[in-house]
Copies of this chain bind each other. A is one copy, B any other.
Amino acid sequence: MNRFLSHATNRIDAKGRVSVPSSFRGVLAKLDIRELYCFQDFVFPAISAGGPELLDRFERQIADEDPFSPQANEMSLLIHGGGVFMKLDQEGRLMVTDFIRDFTGITNEVTFVGRADHFQLWAPQVFQETQATARQERRLRGLRPG
């Protein structure tokens, strides 16, 4: 598989680490991603993680604007100030830093959620509720496929 799919919840250990699901690590290996660009999502209280080209894409978007404009300044505040590169340890674990905890509300467990070209880190209960809400809204709009 070459994209991130499904979701799984893992425990954070006493040192603040959590295992990234094996299937996600497999995708990372296949895409040759050794360092994760992680940023605070613009819409949900979740951390999004993907390859460095994700940041490149954002920066190209900034470069298309006047570099001194408030909009460019604001965008940089989010993708640079709200983003960071992280690495997995040898066992494929990730440190759950305050950068992640403060923004997501994660405490003891992490729900990993596949999003095709990247994946996200959620507080389990927040993910449950948000997904349920999204499903509900979709049903109300009558856009449910199938």
When A6-B81, A84-B5, A130-B77 are in contact, do A61 and B139 touch as well, CB less than 8 Å? no
* Binary flags per residue of A39-56, CB closer than 8 Å to B gives 1, else 0: 011111000100000100
Interface residues in A, total, Cβ within 8 A: 51
Q: SS class of chain A's interface: helix, strand, loop or mixed? A: mixed
CA distance A83 to B57 in the complex (A): 25
CA A83 – CA B4 in complex, angstroms?
A: 10
Q: Binary interface profile of A, 1-29, with partner B (CB < 8 Å = 1, else 0)?
A: 10111111000000000000000000000
CB <8 Å contact, A42 and B81: no
Instruction: Report the bound CA distance from A138 to B58 in whole Å.
Output: 13
